[in-house]
Amino acid sequence: MTSTGTETITTGRPDLRTDDGDHERFAHFAERDKVTEAMVMGTPVIALCGKVWVPSRDPKKYPVCPECQRLYDLGAEGRMEEWKARQES
């Protein structure tokens, strides 16, 4: 009899609990498609603010990243301007 059959079901979701790193303490904004995929796969995405983070399935637990909020409020065009300016400077 094997006992490995029922107990070894994993979700494939790595447990990325970090003690340092503030990116785990904010809910960032990123492309919705990417976030959805990331939540399923447990892979990191690049947020609007440039942080690489693994989206939480419960973002309401975290305060919204102020930088992401600001960039989000700028809208797509505003973000493009900002990113362009950032690259040039």
Cα dist. 56→12, 66, 82 in Å?
15, 17, 27
Shortest Å distance, C-beta 79 to Zn ion: 12
Binds Zn ion (CB under 5 A): choice among 30, 38, 54, 65? 65
Tokens 């399935």 appear where?
57
Q: Which is nearer to Zn ion, 5 or 38 (CB)?
A: 38
Q: Contact between 30 and Zn ion (CB under 5 A)? A: no
Q: Contact between 47 and Zn ion (CB under 5 A)? A: yes
Q: Which is nearer to Zn ion, 17 or 28 (CB)?
A: 28
Gap between the Cα atoms of 39 and 37, Å rounded: 5
Output phi, psi for 20, to 5 deg: -100, -175
- Residues of this chain that interact with Zn ion (CB under 5 A) are 28, 47, 49, 51, 65, 67-68
